[in-house]
Every structure is written in C-alpha cells, then in structure tokens.
Amino acid sequence: MKKTGYLVVAGGVLTMACGGVSGGDEPDPVSNEQLAGVGPIYPGVAGGERSIVYHGWNTPDTAYIAKHWRSMDSSGLDGTGYYVEFPIDQGEEPVHRGVYRTSVELFDGSIRWERCWFDRALLDLRETDFERLKRNHLQVWVTPANFDWHDDSAWQNVLHNTREPARFGAAAPHTAGMMFDAEQYASKLWYQAGRGSTEDFATVARKVRERGREWAHAVSSEWPDAELLMPWISDYAVTSLGGFDAPARATSETGLFLAFFEGMLQGLGDGVAIWEGNEHAYMQAAPTSFSRTSSRLRNNLLGVLSPDLRTEFFAHVRQSHGIYLDAYVNPEGTQYGLSKFGRTAADQLFRNTLSALSASDGLVWLWGEDGVIFEPLTGDMSHRIADPTAAWEDRIDGLEVAFDWARSPHANIERSLFEIAREYQNEQLLNAFPAASQGWSTEGWHVWKEANDTGTFSVELPTPMRDTQSLRVDGMRLGGCFIHNVPMTPLRTLLVTARARVEGDAIPVLIVRWRHPGGAFDMAGEDLRASFGPPDKDGIRVAYVVGSAPEQVHSAAVLLSVTGGEGAAVLFDEVRAFDFTDGPARLWNSR
C-alpha cells in the first residue's frame, strides 16, 4: 500500500494519512484484472425508450436518405444525423463550400438562407417510411462563427438561418431535433480574449446571454417539441470559473459559452429538451464511470448556474453520453484507444453502451470517423476515411448484436433464459431443487412471514404430471417469503430466474436484496424486483432480475415473496442464480 498524502485505505477503514509524502509516490492504479471483473450497469426496469443515434463522418444528406432509406433502416440504429445540401444560385447542382457545407454552417452571419433551399430536402424525407430509424437529427454547428456579438445585422442573419431549418425540421418526417454542436473548429466564438476584444467582459457576457435567449426562442417558435443534442455543455461552461459574467472567464477559450447557455434556458419553449451530450465520455472505459460523470456534469453546472434558472434547467435538460467507435479499434494504450481488458471490441462496446444508456435519460450518440456506418459511402467528411470499404460492422465484429443487447437488455435476456440456463448449467450459484424428502427441507432455504400470518411453507414433491419439486406457500395473507443467500462479488452482475404457478389470488414477486459483510441487509432501495409474467398454457409464470452488486456487498438474499388471500397458494421451482458478468458475450460466442 502506498500513501497518497490524502486518504489511505487500511484494513477496510478509511483514514487520513499524516506526515510528508515524497513526490515520487503514487497510488497503485486499479489493475486491468480488477476492471475486467466489473459488470455493466443494467437499467433497473425493463422497457422505456432507449435510443442509439449515429453522428460522424459518414452521416448522409437528404438525397442519400431518399435513395437508401431501406438499407439504412436495417442498420440496427434508432437514428442518424443528417444535413441539407443547398443548391448554388438556386440551381439543381449541389456544391461544397469548403470542408463543411450546407445546413451545418448555422452560425454564418454573412449570408441569409432561402426557404426554398429546404424544399427538395423535405420531399426527400417524405419518400421514406422508416420503421426503426426515426430519431434523426438535423446537424447544425456554430461553424463558421464569423461575426461579432454586437453586430445586429449579422445576428439577424443567424436568427433567420435558425428559423428556416427549425421550420423544416418540424415538418420533416422522422426528425426529432437538431444536433447543435457548440465546439469551436475555426473562429473562437466563446473566447473573449482570443477575439481581440478589449471590451469589459461582463458587458459582452450580458449581450451573449441576450443572444442565447433570442436564438432559443427562434428555435422554439418554429419547432415547439424539438430536442437539441449538444455534445458540450457542462465542460464548455468551465464551471470552476464562477458565474456567467465572472471576469476570470475572459481568458478561457469557452468563457462566454455559459452566458449563451443561460440565455437558452431563458428563451426555450416548454416542449423543447436539451441533451447534455458529454463528449468526454468518448474515452470512458469502466461501466461505473458513466453514472459518476452524469452526477458530476449536472451538479457542477447547477453549482454555477444563476439560481433563478435552476427550475428551467430541471425542466429542459436531459443527460446523454457519447460513444467514440474508433476508440474500440484503435491500438490500446494510444491517446484514442480504449483498454478492452482482454475482451472483444463488441463486448466492450456493449458494456459501455449499456452502462451509458443506464446512466442517461435514454439516449446515447455515436461518433465514428475511420469507418462507414451506411453503405454505400456518403457524407461530407467521407474523403477522410482511410478505407471507404471499411464498414463499422466489419471493423467491430458483432456491432449490431452489441447495440441490440445494449438497447434492450431485458428483452434479450427474456428471450435467452433457456439458453442461459444451458450455458451456465455447471456454474450456478443457486439451483433451487429441494432435496427429495418428505416435508419441509431447509436445504439452504429459510422462511419469514409477517407476525400473526397463518400462512405455511412446504416442499411439494414431484408428481406424474410434474417432474420437479416446488417450494410451496399457502394462505399467506399478510406476506411471507422463502430466502436463500447467494455469495456475490461487488460490481459483478447477478442474474436470478424463477418459475411460479399460482392458485387463487396470490401475488408472487422475485426480489434480490444485497447484504453487507456480517449479514446486514442493505437498504431496500437497492432491491432488484420483478413480478412474474402471465401464465403460459401450462400455467407457468416466469420472472427474472439482473443487476450489478453494489460496493461493499458480499452476498445477495434471493427472496420468493408472496402476498394474497386465504386459500391461495404459489409453487416456486427452477430458481436459479448466475454470475452473468460476461453473460451476453458468452452467449454470442456459444452461438
């Protein structure tokens, strides 16, 4: 153990280190072996809208979408960024005006867009009939940012150029909103000192705040239910520098951004949502990092936001995370190469995408550069892709199944329960087939019921019609349960499945409750719970729960809980528990 000079963990107790520490001492890093044992973060409940949307060098224009929408719809994605290519002199031939083009160049104060430039694009999208690819975003960026904040004429062009795509987006099929990228690729829009201005920073910040309010109002007035996906919010706000007009912001490259964002909160209509995109998540490799980052981003921004805007923040801002596809194929140990801890790229991508979705409000966006997401090759940056035949599904073998499991983990587990039992048949943590003996067997099981409840527990032996024994609960009016303890390592994934047959109006529930060392229950708020599904033709109902064990947990109590009326009964059988940390990838490989 090495002392860090701050905190030392000794014997499981957190203590303060005293005395000097040499400058060369560093804490031992968490090993790859330890990180490899961490399971992904599963959502607490099944269902809910969970979307994976692509943005990157291979995003299409609307003409491409009209031609290839059927193949795009089979990509396994829920949406894509796209752009509108403008004609030259209102003619028919599109042109590129440099590296970026068209509707992407939103903050161009030197030109005024024409409404008719969007007519062809609207007809293109009306050619589509997507079944899956419905959460699409019109891409707009602050590029080229070629104006001064006090230039009213240029700013009126920006507002006009904002209303036109917003009006288009509101009318365009399968378009959920805009991907509004505030990153500075050329002019330093948010950098007061970098723009050569000597004006008082607070004065400029107040003007930028006003501009943000006007811009958000322009979007909302034309597109009342738009979503704005913004890759950078909290980190661009540089929350350590104080309020939006703090003088220290003058020398920060993004010092003015907080003022614009506060203005946005002031000007947004009730139905518009802003998504914090967290582009820094590109290089996050541990599943737990996404939930930690979500908390950091939100709390830091709330800490610096003007107090009167906090209500607006909670009303409008949602959490998302960015996934950088190139990081899963770039060499490990390089600046943009993620550690995969001995796993395949698809397995690590599944874990991170699942954990990112679980730590978001239901949206994860992808950025890809050196690969093709839609074929044939398209996109304004396609000339920068080294191999125009390198499809991402080939570069990351198993890409589509990884995204399918990340988006719908519960549905995939439910479809695979029989396969999981077969794959893990020799590795079960719990296999609840009570010993073949008359009466009650305590074979690892305990029972509990409410005081004064007259319900009973028993073991029902096999019959000619049913070849398994069952744990039986009769007449449990107030509530009771069977309990079995399962050893568990913190941060690994536990999957528990069970079957039940119900007689009368009894209500069975499958519960996992985590235990601290010493056998103490954790808070019930950490419980994993599932109701049993509808009966099949034989009257069998199935339930399962899946989740990662919290820190400082050494076991899990599996509870087969029953409430109901007198005369009702529940028979449980095939209660199984698995360490499912590597489960999905094992299933893919076994197939």
pLDDT of 13 over the 50 cut: no
Task: Give residue 21's pLDDT.
Answer: 30
| 81 strand-pairing partners | 137
- Tell me, which fold does domain 51-415 have in CATH? TIM Barrel (3.20.20)
Over residues 496-521, the mean pLDDT reads: 89
Task: Give residue 460's pLDDT.
Answer: 82
CATH assignment of 430-590, among 3.40.50.300, 3.40.50.720, 2.60.120.260, 1.10.8.870 = 2.60.120.260
Task: Give residue 65's pLDDT.
Answer: 94
Task: Give residue 153's pLDDT.
Answer: 96
Using an 8 Å Cβ cutoff, are 408 and 546 in contact? no
Alpha-carbon distances, residue 50 vs 192, 365, 449 (angstroms): 39, 11, 39
Using an 8 Å Cβ cutoff, are 457 and 447 in contact? yes
Give 389 or 80, the one with higher predicted confidence.
80
Using an 8 Å Cβ cutoff, are 266 and 309 in contact? yes
Please count the CA atoms within 13 angstroms of the CA of 332 that sit on its side-chain side: 10
Q: Is the dihedral of CA 302, 304, 310, 315 positive or negative?
A: negative
pLDDT of 393 over the 70 cut: yes
Furthest CA-CA distance within the chain? 91
**pLDDT tens sequence across 225-240:** 999 999 999 999 999 9
Q: Is the peptide bond before 60 cis (omega within 30 degrees of 0)?
A: no
Please list, in sequence order, all residues whose beta carbon lies within 8 angstroms of the beta carbon of residue 383, skipping any fewer than 6 positions away.
Answer: none
Q: What is the rounded average pLDDT for all residues in the chain?
A: 85
**585: burial class by Cβ within 10 Å (0-12, 13-18, 19+)?**
buried
Task: Give residue 385's pLDDT.
Answer: 65
pLDDT of 10 over the 50 cut: no
Over residues 23-44, the mean pLDDT reads: 62
Task: Give residue 438's pLDDT.
Answer: 37
Best-predicted range by mean pLDDT (37-51, 184-198, 317-331, 383-397): 317-331
Percent of the chain with pLDDT over 90: 62
Alpha-carbon distances, residue 10 vs 25, 132, 195 (angstroms): 17, 52, 52
At residue 103, the 3 state secondary structure works out as helix
Distance CA(9)–CA(17), nearest Å, equals 9
**pLDDT tens sequence across 287-302:** 889 999 999 999 999 9
Task: Give residue 362's pLDDT.
Answer: 94
Task: Give residue 431's pLDDT.
Answer: 65
Give CA angle at 172 (167, 174), nearest 5°: 135
Two structure tokens written together for 329: 């194929």
Q: Parallel, antiparallel, or unpaired for β 480-487 and 555-563?
A: antiparallel
Alpha-carbon distances, residue 3 vs 17, 25, 34 (angstroms): 7, 7, 20
**pLDDT tens sequence across 335-388:** 899 988 889 999 999 999 999 999 999 999 999 998 888 876 655 555 566 677
Model pTM score: 0.88
Give CA angle at 465 (440, 511), nearest 5°: 50
pLDDT of 220 over the 70 cut: yes
Give 388 or 483, the one with higher predicted confidence.
483
Range(s) within the chain of domains with CATH label 2.60.120.260: 430-590
Range(s) within the chain of domains with CATH label 3.20.20: 51-415
**183: burial class by Cβ within 10 Å (0-12, 13-18, 19+)?**
middle
| 470 strand-pairing partners | 460
Using an 8 Å Cβ cutoff, are 558 and 486 in contact? yes
